[in-house]
Structure 1
């Protein structure tokens, strides 16, 4: 019995220990679960903290970037303000310079008018009543032309046929050109410069010698059904124009640049002697800038578009070689009778293709083609884009044109002698050994 009691007591003790062990295990499990939960929470807190740190870092970088952008904007605004200030200063300077130029030009105009009123120039001063009587009160029947300055009338003064150019009242720029033309033409004389006979400065009238055959442009394009100019005449006219141009460029004390050389401004008298007219745009260039190295800067380009020196058009720098470009285009028109637009390109292309003779005026049947080709190549050199590449008028252009003029004179003399002897004459193609007569058919600018 004692043994049974001991066994039961031992069982109770073991149950108690088991219960205590189970309670300790359960407590340990709860503690482990709680620890795991706390570890998970701490991990989540760590992740949240890391996220907040990353956000804070990104926010800081964004703030720095915004600050840098604001600094750049501030710098740009300061630079723009400085540039605006510089532009304002430059504009103010330009305005001051323009005012000075305007005052200077006004003073020059007053001096010119005073000089005209005081008979400083060598021309006759006509009264407006004489002009009105000669033009029959500016009758349309006597009008022979119209320019940007105003109409031109044929009239008779002092028993002499004259051409009277009348400045339009609204031509403000024309007034300056009128004064310039009076100043230039009254002080110079040359056989190939149109002769100014007189003026009526109060009413803007200029009186010229009358040129029976009108302008070179009209004769090249045969307006009014006039006969074509012979090739010898054309070479002579080209040489005469170059001679007059050299005369202008060699005026003392300052060279004179025409600035508007074109066939419309070349007039022909009753013997087809050519004379340069319309010097209203001419400019006196200081001797120190008369060459093609340093040029005289003007505020605005002047002239007719197709004939304007490209370098002058771009820079406003004027020199005697500005006229050489215009001369080159004019020389090409003399032998082709074509409009100036794109003419240099067409001639150059024809020369390269070996078809230059097709560019020559078809109304002339006996061209000395090889001589005309050399002439055209010289004219193309005159139209080089850069002034320094253009030939010199006195030493290169004029000697060659004089040679061609003499060639034409010799041809005309032979033809006259042949006609006097009752012969049929020679072909113009026989002027030089390797020249050929133009054949085939093509169109001129007039056709």
Structure 2
């Protein structure tokens, strides 16, 4: 069934919230400045925040892509799995957090990726020799581009579901009720189901170059889980900072080739970029590149599509990395977030606190590390990084002809840049 024929009634979203025991979320009301986006015509009088930018963009592509992944979650094969998830309530299994993320309409929701692919497809248009049967003229995109956007959503969702597996190997094999083992089985099977559907959808595109491109994106997602040191719980840790920093330029090479990991480790900027190009930028960038290939655009424009997706994903990640250090925040945070990695680069002696978490993450003094980040240059450097990648994505976008789709993408970039 093609995505263009899919209709997801509002009752599905309500049923899913009930199925997953998910409370209603209140959208953020933070306003964002878009003064630097010179061509953006706002759909409303208020400056757009993330939720408003995504909501307006969904109207342009013709349907709410916030529930794109739910088509698969509501299928016969997954319906029983969703019901079994209720058994995990109260067990703190990470799969529940992932399930909530599927419906949480916030800045860090994962369903905006397919929307971005469709928007770049509509903004760039397609070549004149595309047969009429391949075109969805009402939406302004090709049927194959809709399918690729769907594949992008499924790949990202399956990756996040697989990342929710809990390490139950000794000495972490205490699972008296079997909840964690049961949750692991559900996560593994659910992720595999989504990934298998990706393969089917890609094969139906009948485009070998796009299949190769997206296959390399899956490879990058898998490789992202093996970058740098890990603790006993398999959580990522930053590499020990190097005394001498060397420029890492491989990101400009052929994006089908694997990235060289060893040369980036220990260099805060290169290591952070490598981790998130593999974990996010590769998939979004190659999806944007692939959708332009399906539309018959030149290789030059396809490469620019890759750069747009990669820079937008990195700007997005930098924005998310800053959130745990906002006023009033407390508790654990990712040890490979940009603010901490830049702080470690500036003050290498802090790395001994990271090593304390190799055996037990509870040994890490997050309060001390947070204090060092707030007092050091890490947050400001991350803000600059966020702005650089946002502007790089905007520079590519400016090369496309003016359209509602381009304006919608500009508003999304503005929401990321000014957060």
TM-score bracket, shorter-length normalisation? under 0.3
Q: Which has the higher strand share?
A: 1
Q: What is the TM-score with the length of structure 1 in the denominator?
A: 0.25
TM-score, structure 2 length as denominator? 0.26
Higher relative contact order (CA 8 A, sep 6+): 2
